[in-house]
A and B are shown apart, each in its own frame.
Chain A
Amino acid sequence: MAEGSRPAEVRVPAPQGLTIDATLVAQGLLNGVLFGGVFSLMAVGLTLIFGVMRVVNFAHGDMMVWGMYLAWLMATRAGLDPYLGFVVCAAALFGLGFAVQRTLVQRIVDAPHEMQILLMLGVALVLENTALLVFGPEPQRVRSALAQSTVWLGPLFVDVARLIAFGVAALLAVLLWLFLFRTDLGRSIRAAADNAYGALVIGTDVRRVYAVAFGVGAACVGAAGALVSPLLPFQPPTGLQLSVASFNIVIIGGMGSLVGAFVGGVLVAVAESLGAVFLRPSLKELVSFSLLVLILLFRPAGIFGRRAP
């Protein structure tokens, strides 16, 4: 390659020269599954917000970054481990979500789609740059005692931190399911999601329900942020990549479906991980986007979604 000039041939992505053996593939699979749990947690909050309100929350990733910064604050100032502190993050973001919904989103529920998008873009800008002002631009990561260890299954390694995040994500998904299907408030939320007019007719305070739904979705995102904060370095612009990943997962898994968010997260992470095994890793996101396109075309409701667009 000559200095400073571009080579004439197009380099087609090709498998690496190393031997791709069963161990590598198995490890890739395992990495994907575990990281998928983490991804799922992000998506659960979004699926609730969109499933109920049909609002495209472009500020989703930025809300999660704030959850991560809050976890970092608590870890550095109060010495609170994020695996315990995530409750506080969830509560704080519930408040943020509730407030955003009541003051902003509620007013544009019936507005044209482009206005909804514009609103959430504005919120995203404000969240990202307030984080920049307050916390500065350097990437941070939370140190947690639990996040340092690994467990070995023969030649395969398991990252304990991801295992825990996966477990807590599953637990939260179960709790959320219980909330939505076994409590009155949860049932109201689902009713409002399915048929807002009908819910109004039977006397549901739809506005309060929406605010709670948004708040709960934001709380999930806050918890996700806290649980992910030892795993993923974050800085104010990280919000965008998290938003895009979350949308991918929610569409693939199925909008409005908790199981879908979970399975979608695992699926996307596994797809990217295997993409990194078989291709140049810098192309791995291509796999998840291609998967997204295929789902959009052939099963837009997603794997577990019930409602077609």
Chain B
Amino acid sequence: MTQHALTRRTFLTTTVGGAALVAAPRVLRAQPKSFKIAAVHPVTGPLAEPGQACRLGAQLAVEAVNAAGGVKGKGGLQLELLTGDTQSKPENGRLESERLVNQGAQMLMGSFDSGSTAAMVSVAQQKRVPFLIDIAAADPITANVAKAVKDGQQKLQYVYRNFPTGSSFGRKAVQYFTEIFAEAKLTPKRVVLMYCNDLFGVNQSRGFLAAYKAAKPAWTLLEDDVIPWPEPPSDLSTEVSKLKALRPDVIAPITRPASAQLLLPEIRKQRVEYLGIVGPGSPGLYEAGQIAVLKDDLEYVMASNPWPNFRNPKTQRLAEDYQKRSNGRLFDTNSGYSYDAIFIIADVLERAAKLDDPDAIVEALQKTHYTGGLMQYGGPIHFNEVGDNPNAIPTMIQVLKSKPVAVWPKEAALQKFVFPRPKA
């Protein structure tokens, strides 16, 4: 964990500043010395792990942008990151964004869980603050805003998202499954979907099932025999017993870190026989902490996740830097998308006509065509009519020799995938 020392200056500024700030009216939008970005993430509460990763990713990005000279087109304007904590409570999404906007933030970023993100949307639209969602997968978040603008109930869309939506996750996952099975010259007939019954798991599974129905691939998913479990679970032994009774050839789990730690050893202990574990996309199947706890149980496990493009040397350098700053954690989805979001914002600021007019920033945001992202994209970063980036796509990664590595599609792969898994 990064721990910034509480210096006396911090103490004084926060206590005195804090008292004054609550009562202070909105800061006038004069020409600022730095451009303030509010990064709101759940750094405490049940989503603390990804939330803290997001915040650190954003902090590293701001440092990088500033070190390279800031926003050059605007006189070397430096970026300043103001951070907020939602504790995964939606009303805090509102409160923290309001607080940070009051402190001068001109753009919002966040916030991982869809509930807090949806709450921040209302602040963005009400106060006309451009909001770039770095991570949140529920489709309606941007779709609703787009619809309101189309129906004339809102003048302009201030909310944009640089992350795959639940439906795009599903489409890509089905596509990768089909391609990988075809490449391995196998047609699994009993793919069993198992997922955690929380916001993320249900969103992912819906997207996956819908895409499967639409694509009608050669392989067969047992649609009527999906196995959802309550998240977080204390025990998954019966769920795995059910899985075993279904005689799966491929297991498709959507997990969270805690449930993955229960699921994978259970699959081994109950001696479920299968060709491979291929996840449609979820946390818990690739993180450094997970590999440390699960060791061999994670070997050969695949998951279709948004992933950094490690072919880019910049990414590798950043990954090393991140590992140092985070006490050993891997640079991955969460930190990566927050990192890229800051760079997208910097690019937007370069191109925006005026920085003190949110509508000008939104105009620049809509015209984004950015190729400098460190994550694996399907093309340049841009935003469609709903506000999402259709080129934000997942990559199929596999844990090989205790390291997660991109294995599909071929243009992103660093190694060849291993499927079916070798017999022990």
A interface residues with partner B (beta carbon < 8 Å): 1-4, 16-19, 21, 23-24, 27-28, 31-32, 35, 39, 129, 132, 136-141, 143, 150, 157, 159, 232-238, 241-242, 245, 269, 272-273, 276-277, 280-285
Cross-chain contact A1 with B245 (CB below 8 angstroms): no
Cross-chain contact B230 with A18 (CB below 8 angstroms): no
CA of A238 to CA of B233, assembled, Å: 10
CA of A236 to CA of B293, assembled, Å: 17
Cross-chain contact A17 with B230 (CB below 8 angstroms): no
Cross-chain contact A3 with B139 (CB below 8 angstroms): yes
Measured CB to CB, the closest approach of chain B to A3, in angstroms, equals 4
Cross-chain contact A282 with B1 (CB below 8 angstroms): no
As a 0/1 sequence over residues 41 to 52 of chain B, the CB contacts with chain A under 8 angstroms (1 = contact) are 000111011011
Residues from chain B with Cβ under 8 Å of A237 in the complex: 45-46, 48
Contact of A236 among B48, B139, B166 (CB under 8 A): B48
CA of A241 to CA of B259, assembled, Å: 14
Residues from chain B with Cβ under 8 Å of A282 in the complex: 197, 228-230
Contact of B238 among A27, A232, A242 (CB under 8 A): A27
Cross-chain contact A150 with B242 (CB below 8 angstroms): no
Cross-chain contact B289 with A277 (CB below 8 angstroms): no
As a 0/1 sequence over residues 222 to 256 of chain B, the CB contacts with chain A under 8 angstroms (1 = contact) are 10110111101011011101100110000000000
Measured CB to CB, the closest approach of chain A to B144, in angstroms, equals 10
Residues from chain B with Cβ under 8 Å of A32 in the complex: 238
Cross-chain contact B224 with A157 (CB below 8 angstroms): no
Cross-chain contact A1 with B237 (CB below 8 angstroms): no
Contact of A16 among B209, B210, B225 (CB under 8 A): B225
Contact of B257 among A4, A19, A233, A281 (CB under 8 A): A233
Measured CB to CB, the closest approach of chain B to A115, in angstroms, equals 25
Cross-chain contact A238 with B246 (CB below 8 angstroms): no
Measured CB to CB, the closest approach of chain B to A260, in angstroms, equals 20
Cross-chain contact A269 with B257 (CB below 8 angstroms): no
Query: Which of B141-181 touch A at CB < 8 Å?
Result: 143, 165-167
B258 within 8 A of A: yes
Closest A residue to B327 by beta carbon equals A136
Cross-chain contact B258 with A139 (CB below 8 angstroms): yes
12 A-B Cβ contacts within 8 A?
A23-B245, A31-B237, A32-B238, A136-B49, A138-B289, A139-B261, A141-B293, A150-B271, A233-B257, A233-B259, A277-B238, A282-B229
B32 within 8 A of A: no
Residues from chain B with Cβ under 8 Å of A241 in the complex: 232, 234
B421 within 8 A of A: no
Q: Would A4 and B139 be within 8 Å (CB), given that A17-B224, A237-B45 are in contact?
A: yes
Given A3-B207, A35-B235, 8 additional A-B pairs, CB 8 A: A4-B140, A21-B245, A23-B245, A24-B241, A32-B238, A138-B289, A140-B289, A157-B270
CA of A284 to CA of B197, assembled, Å: 12
Closest B residue to A29 by beta carbon equals B238
Contact of A18 among B245, B269, B289 (CB under 8 A): B245
Cross-chain contact B235 with A1 (CB below 8 angstroms): no
CA of A31 to CA of B227, assembled, Å: 17
Cross-chain contact B206 with A31 (CB below 8 angstroms): no
Cross-chain contact B49 with A150 (CB below 8 angstroms): no
Which of A35, A139, A273, A280 is the most central at the interface, judged by chain B CB atoms within 10 Å of its CB? A139
Measured CB to CB, the closest approach of chain B to A26, in angstroms, equals 10
CA of A4 to CA of B140, assembled, Å: 6
Closest A residue to B42 by beta carbon equals A137
Measured CB to CB, the closest approach of chain A to B338, in angstroms, equals 16
CA of A151 to CA of B289, assembled, Å: 29
As a 0/1 sequence over residues 20 to 63 of chain B, the CB contacts with chain A under 8 angstroms (1 = contact) are 00000000000000000000000011101101100000000000
Closest B residue to A230 by beta carbon equals B265
B213 within 8 A of A: yes
Residues from chain B with Cβ under 8 Å of A39 in the complex: 234
Residues from chain A with Cβ under 8 Å of B49 in the complex: 136-139, 235
Cross-chain contact A139 with B269 (CB below 8 angstroms): no
Measured CB to CB, the closest approach of chain A to B345, in angstroms, equals 26
CA of A4 to CA of B241, assembled, Å: 32
Cross-chain contact A3 with B242 (CB below 8 angstroms): no
Cross-chain contact A18 with B225 (CB below 8 angstroms): yes
Measured CB to CB, the closest approach of chain A to B145, in angstroms, equals 13
CA of A254 to CA of B229, assembled, Å: 28
Which of A4, A235, A237 is the most central at the interface, judged by chain B CB atoms within 10 Å of its CB? A4
CA of A21 to CA of B242, assembled, Å: 10
Q: Would A35 and B237 be within 8 Å (CB), given that A141-B293, A237-B45 are in contact?
A: yes
CA of A234 to CA of B197, assembled, Å: 18
Residues from chain B with Cβ under 8 Å of A137 in the complex: 48-49, 51-52
Residues from chain A with Cβ under 8 Å of B229 in the complex: 276, 281-282, 284
Residues from chain B with Cβ under 8 Å of A283 in the complex: 230
Closest B residue to A36 by beta carbon equals B235
Measured CB to CB, the closest approach of chain B to A289, in angstroms, equals 11
Residues from chain A with Cβ under 8 Å of B228 in the complex: 280-282
Cross-chain contact B241 with A3 (CB below 8 angstroms): no
